[in-house]
Amino acid sequence: MFFSWWRNRRRSNLLAEPFPDAWQAVLDDGVGHYQLLNEADQKKLRDAVVIMLSEKDWEGCRGLELTDEIRVTIAALAAVLIIGLEDFYFDNVQTVLIYPDEYVVQQERPIEGGVVLEEESDRLGEAHYRGPVIVSWQEIRENARQPGSGTNLVFHEFAHQLDMLNGEPDGTPDLPTDELAQRWTVIMDKEFRRLQKAEQRGQHTVLDPYGANDTAEFFAVSVECFFDSPRIMQRTYPDLYQLFCDYFRQDPASWPVFEPEGY
């Protein structure tokens, strides 16, 4: 209780300061989603950027020198997800690690006969339970400048963090009402199976086929699509789209059109 009182006081002091011009320039020039929001939501996004830049540890990896552009862009994209959520700033994420581009990790893969293969895997990002978010700047910079591709690395990794607020990632975040929780189970299950079937038949849908791997990835790729290709998602996955409108308390299909021609 004392902690939250102290934290709220600290946050209101932070928000009483004017938003730095250099950060505003990053939002105006490099974060396409910022232009789509109404004024009230732009203010919420700026507040979230101030809080996240102050409260989280931002670390450049493999020699990447962090700049305002990098920190503000990543925080702003993460903030798009939480604009409708009351007083939540990814408090479960303490550290954001940023690589210049793809990075390689050593991983173990069990195969038959109790053998474990040591492999190298190229990655763009990952999110750890009670741990850091790890992302690559080159990918994010392109996502931020050209919204509408349907993919966005920051949306993906921070969606995993929402999912992990109530335990290991399983595609079901904390839901505020029983009604939403019941609808969530039915719709997510139905749409996950639909994506798996489409994938088995080699059919392309607006959702990244990577989401057919498991329900946690299904949630993360659906969040990417919800905020980055909302109109086509609303047309082709209307139940899922509405479910996310109710959870995020946002309606991205009402934003000015930003998807490329053909959508």
- Using the rule CB under 5 A, give the single segment among 41-49, 71-79, 212-220, 236-244 that binds Zn ion: 212-220
Distance CA 172, CA 262 (A): 32
Smallest distance from Zn ion to CB 156, Å: 6
Q: Which is nearer to Zn ion, 105 or 186 (CB)?
A: 105
80 in contact with Zn ion (CB under 5 A): no
Residues in Cβ contact with 117 at an 8 Å cutoff, skipping those fewer than 6 apart:
108, 109, 110, 111
Least Å distance, CB 195 to Zn ion, is 14
- Tell me whether residue 89 or residue 219 sits nearer to Zn ion (CB atom): 219
Q: Is 79 in the site for Zn ion (CB under 5 A)?
A: no
- Rounded to a whole number of angstroms, the minimum distance from the CB of residue 63 to Zn ion is 26
Report the residue number, 69 or 191, with the smaller CB distance to Zn ion. 191
164 interacts with Zn ion by CB under 5 A: no
Residue of 220, 223, 225, 243 that binds Zn ion (CB under 5 A): 220
72/216 with CB nearer Zn ion: 216
Contact flag: residue 154 with Zn ion (CB under 5 A): no
- Give 203: exposed, middle or buried? Use CB within 10 Å, 0-12, 13-18, 19+: exposed
Q: Which is nearer to Zn ion, 36 or 135 (CB)?
A: 135
Distance (Å, whole) CA 107 – CA 111 = 13
Instruction: Tell me how far apart the alpha carbons of residues 171 and 216 are, in angstroms, rounded to a whole number.
Output: 4
Count of residues in contact with Zn ion, rule CB under 5 A:
2
Which sign does the torsion angle of CA 256, 209, 219, 151 carry? negative
With binding defined as CB under 5 A, does residue 240 bind Zn ion?
no
Shortest distance (Å) from residue 4 CB to Zn ion: 30
Single out the segment in contact with Zn ion by CB under 5 A; choices: 105-113, 180-188, 219-227, 233-241.
Answer: 219-227
Minimum CB separation of residue 95 from Zn ion in Å reads 18
225 binds Zn ion (CB under 5 A): no
Q: Could you tell me the smallest distance in angstroms from the CB atom of residue 96 to Zn ion?
A: 16
Contact set with Zn ion (CB under 5 A): 217, 220
